[in-house]
């Protein structure tokens, strides 16, 4: 079956530091890959996505590249801000039996200090 593994948190950084959150996946087909972000007290929001190998998703300074050879989709940001503090979920979505059922990783908490 499909699965997503992401690095455990919390990840604690100072403002303007470089961020990497690792994510690897296992899938039987050719999934689309996503990063969702969950701010405190809120639901998950789509941050970025990539639908095929070598695609790069980007949004709000965050980037992730779909690497089929390493089955990875690592999230990066060059300079984090305090407002980026949240939980980040890597996810994949594969069409199984005619419908999409996304599979999520466990989430990585990011804490950014001023």
Partner 1 sequence: AAGVIQSPRHLIKEKRETATLKCYPIPRHDTVYWYQQGPGQDPQFLISFYEKMQSDKGSIPDRFSAQQFSDYHSELNMSSLELGDSALYFCASSFSASGYTGELFFGEGSRLTVL
Q: Which residues are at the interface with partner 1 (CB under 8 A)?
A: 31-32, 34, 36, 41-46, 49, 51, 89, 92-97, 99-107
> Smallest distance, Å, CB 104 to partner 1?
4
Cis amide linkage into residue 77, ω under 30° from 0: no
Q: Shortest distance, CB of residue 61 to partner 1, whole angstroms?
A: 20
- How far apart are CB 43 and partner 1 at their closest, in Å? 4
Q: Is 83 left (phi over 0), alpha (psi -120 to 50) or beta?
A: alpha
Q: How far apart are CA 82 and CA 102, in angstroms?
A: 29
Between 34 and 62, CB nearer to partner 1: 34
Phi-psi region of 54 (alpha: psi -120 to 50; beta: other; left: phi over 0): left
Nearest Cα residue to 35 out of 26, 46, 51: 46
Closest to partner 1 by CB, 84 vs 93, is: 93
The residue among 17 and 102 lying less far from partner 1, judged by its C-beta, is 102
Q: C-beta of 35: minimal distance to partner 1 in Å? A: 11
């Amino acid at each position: 079956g499909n699965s997503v593994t992401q690095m455990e948190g919390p990840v604690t950084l100072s403002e303007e530091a470089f961020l990497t959150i690792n994510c690897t996946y296992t899938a039987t087909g050719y999934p689309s890959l996503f990063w969702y972000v969950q701010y405190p007290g809120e639901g998950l929001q789509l941050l970025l996505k990539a639908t095929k190998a070598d695609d790069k998703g980007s949004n709000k300074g965050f980037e992730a590249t779909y690497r089929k050879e390493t089955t990875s989709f690592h999230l990066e940001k060059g300079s984090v801000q305090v407002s980026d503090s949240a939980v980040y979920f890597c996810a994949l979505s594969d069409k199984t039996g005619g419908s999409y059922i996304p599979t999520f990783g466990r989430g990585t908490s990011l804490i950014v200090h001023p």
